[in-house]
Structure 1
Amino acid sequence: MVSNPMNKFSRRRFCAVSVAAALSSQHLAWAATKQSPFAMVSAADHDRVLRLADHWLPEAPQTITSFHSSRSPAGPHDFFSEADYFWPNPANPAGPYKEIDGKSNPDNFQDHRRAMIRLSQAMPALTAGYVLTKRKDYAHAAAAHLLAWFVTPATRMKPNLEYSQGVRNGGPTGRSYGIIDTLHLVEVARAAGFLRKFFTPAEWADLRSWFRDYLLWMKTSEKGMRERDATNNHAICWALQAAEFAHLDGDEDTRAEVRERFETVQLPMQMAPNGSFPRELARTKPYGYSIFNFDAAAALCWSLGQQEMVRFSLPDGRGMCKAAEFLEPYLADKDKWPYAHDVQHWESWPVRSPGLLFCGVACGREEYLALWRKLDPDPTDPEIIRNYPIRQPVLWV
């Protein structure tokens, strides 16, 4: 067992808690007249959840073993994908592909990722349907997806991402950046916690073991550690995965480590004083990446400590409430966006932001919640779906 770093109450932590306490008092006054987050989300999403649950109810599980690529260096149980932004290099057509940031190559193999995204749409929707109605057919259908992906020997995925986002024609067969592909398991892990009674003890132990093994790979492999140490959205997404996978397995030591890292490394490194994320603004899709990192960071904070953690801020005020303050005007009206437009998919943003929900509740901002209700919760653009891993907020509140 490792020591809990949160037991160290530094001056920085004291100042941060003082700021959070001030915000908390404001929030409590606001929240006294409001319905609970669960009641609010349930009311907003009830019909949508049942529509999606009914859609997925007759659909059978589909895992990566249903798809094969001749370019995969691995076996049928190994997740394999190719890097989105890599294209043939005109200067060396037979050599490794060349990166063009922000422009996705439609010819790359993505069937395993699509299967995982399908899982992330179907299984949480069925679970949300069960949460709202207690219909056991929804729960059994959701459990069947988990068994197929993580337990059944013939169809399960191996608990690593050694072959994710490789580069064709002699490039690396897998890269640390590929770990972001399993961001689509975050809500799956969250949803699994609602279904424990629908598994046998052995099945539940095997399910937890898969996420435990995958988390260990994330924490100790060369690719995993490199992704953890990234300086942009990749590190935030690593942390969100680690937090939720550890939550499913009851690993509070890892969750404490993730929280300490967010507070002392990621937040100070990534957020500017105005609440923006400069590393995302520097990309060729600054609008989409700013939204994506905001949503992932807000979800991370909610996972680690719900409202208290979302309200956490550094002594200079940087935190998720500041991030929401920066981004919300551009979610409300992207014509006001003062930075470059995204090179692709500009027209498909924004969609319903989970960050708006978490920050609206935690920071006491009704206007964020009103905007959250207005935005589209079910985008159809595959690029947006790829960057939209939290679709059933009723499972989070």
Structure 2
Amino acid sequence: MASFKIHRYVLILFFLLSNTCFAVSPIAIDTTGLARVKQKIHDGTASERTHAAYRALLLKADTFLDIKNPTVMAKTIEPPTGNKHDYLSISRYWWPNPETPNGLPWVRKDGETNPETQTDAVDRKRLGTMAKGVENLSLAYYFSNDERYAKKASSMLKTWFLDEDTHMKPHLEFAQSVPGYSKGRPSGILDGKSIAEIVPNALVLLSKSPHWTKNDTLKLNKWLSDYITWLTESTLGKKENNQQNNHGSWYKFQVATLGFYLGNEPLVKEMVTLAQQSLEEQLDFEGKQTHELQRTRSFFYSCYNLDALTGIAVIGGQVGMDMWHYKTEEGKSLALAVKYLTPFINGQAWPYTDIHGVDFSGLIPTLVRLSKHSESNEFFGLLSQTIAILVEEEKKTGNKNDVLETLILKGAINI
């Protein structure tokens, strides 16, 4: 991109990076910052982009109002227990084996999603629908005060987690299973990422609605507590915790996020400490994320892992831990990992395989967080450049970037 275009966008972008803004915190929503956006929408002082994002949010939320609530009971493939309350999914990058008559055991094709793993026969698609629905509906309720949205979001939460006939049991023993392999896979715990990302926030946003009661919160907190117990005490959970890539990072994010929400500060500090220590293995001396670079979607997974790690850093800050400035004995840090990506934001070609091409969208949340916690303007400048690139892409395609839309509404950026 020409430098004059970048500077032009820097002049029109104002980033809300004070301590009172939402800043894409995964939990404990800062309602002061969120309320600022809401007030501007309703008094007409918000930017046209913010108003457009709000209108788009309501349209998305409307699409969820009349759908049947997702439930694990709707799958047609039974888990090994024969109990449909047990969550079941099939790992997306695995395919029937062309070398065997029955296609078993399936074989892995990294980065290539097998559409047969994403059908309604298993639960992954429904979990995604529930999470996205609850997220959109709870935000729509907050901004609009329309109880229809709160009623539906509450209903979806109760169906998935609480109702006796439809609830999911609090474990992921059969998540990301692979036909032909009988043992559970620790990588399936990644499926629970959306639960940790969305549910605590939704409960904050729904707390003033009569459709979600204190008793509902107590029941869901019990479910989340049982889920943390399974994560931390099960064999699969312990194995996932030891993974030195994005899987290990997102495991620690889940445990830290839900631990913080439920008031377990020692557990949060344990996860943040482990995440800090993991930088020694995850990064090389240049800041390359060595495990993610081996993937066929190397840029995507480099951003994906940083999203988890900086999310953990946000949580750490709320219990007095400063992961933002933490360095290993060899000088490895979050900042070093992002600095390695800087030349590619500036136009240098990505030298590793990414079969879907380089997309900077996944890097935006990390840059927003680092911009807030850095003493220099370096990451603020990178954030400006990256948003400018995405805005240019929007103009070319005519499609709004979902990441930018979400961050605008949550008060992290204002374009």
TM tier relative to shorter chain: 0.7 to 0.9
2:201 is aligned, of 188, 191, 205, to 191
Q: Are residues 64 and 337 of structure 1, via their aligned partners in 2, closer, same or farther at CA, if it must alter by over 3 Å?
A: same
Tell me, yes or no, if structure 1 residue 294 matches structure 2 residue 299. Answer: no
Residue 37 of structure 1 deviates from its aligned partner by 3.5
Instruction: Tell me the CA shift for residue 357 of structure 1.
Output: 1.7
User: Secondary structure, in 3 states, of the residue corresponding to 1:375?
Assistant: helix
- Tell me if 1:56 matches 2:61: yes
- 1:103 aligns with 112
C-alpha distance after superposition, 1:277-296 (max 9, x if no partner) = 11111222211111111112
Match of 1:210 among 218, 223, 232: 223
Question: What's the offset of the Cα at 1:232?
Answer: 0.8
1:217 Cα offset (Å) = 0.2
Counterpart secondary structure, 1:238: helix
**TM-score normalised according to structure 2 size:** 0.74
What do the CA deviations read for 1:252-286 (whole angstroms, capped 9, x no partner)?
1211111111122x122212232221111122221
**Are the counterparts in 2 of residues 270 and 278 from structure 1 also a CA contact under 8 Å?**
yes
TM-fit CA distance, 1:351: 2.2
Matches within 5 A, 1:1-397: 37-38=21-22, 39=33, 42=37, 47-57=52-62, 58-60=65-67, 61-69=69-77, 74-94=82-102, 95-108=104-117, 110-111=119-120, 112-169=123-180, 171-172=181-182, 174-194=184-204, 195-198=206-209, 199-264=212-277, 266-305=278-317, 309=322, 311-314=324-327, 316-331=330-345, 333=347, 336-339=349-352, 341-343=353-355, 345-346=356-357, 349-352=359-362, 353-363=364-374, 364=377, 365-370=379-384, 371-372=386-387, 375=390, 392-393=406-407
What is the CA distance between 1:390 and its match in structure 2?
11
1:7 corresponds in structure 2 to none
CA distance in 1, matches of 2:368, 2:51: 16
Check conservation: 2:245, 2:291, Cα contact below 8 A. Answer: yes
**Alpha-carbon RMSD:** 3.3
Deviations 1:88-121 (A, max 9, x none): 2233333311222222222235531111111222
Q: How many residues align?
A: 352
Gap change, CA 1:72 and 1:92, over 3 Å in 2: same
Counterpart Cα distance in 1 of 2:100 and 2:295: 25
- Percent identical residues: 26
Q: Which moved more, 1:243-252 or 1:52-61?
A: 52-61
Question: Which amino acid in structure 2 is aligned with residue 280 of structure 1?
Answer: E
CA 1:375/1:235 → structure 2, altered by over 3 Å: closer, same or farther?
Answer: same
Select between 305-314 and 317-326 the one with higher mean Cα deviation: 305-314
Question: Given residue 317 of structure 2, which amino acid in structure 1 is its aligned partner?
Answer: G
- Checking the alignment, whether the CA contact within 8 Å between 2:93 and 2:110 is kept in structure 1 is yes
* Most deviating of 144-153 and 129-138: 129-138
How far off its partner does 1:209 sit? Answer: 0.6
Q: Which amino acid aligns with 2:91?
A: A
Q: Distance in 1 between matches of 2:303 and 2:101?
A: 35
**Structure 1 residue 178, shift from structure 2 partner:** 0.5
CA contact (8 A) 1:164 1:181 kept: yes
Change (3 A) 1:313 1:71: closer
**TM-score, length basis structure 1:** 0.78
Q: Indicate the SS of the match to 1:168.
A: coil
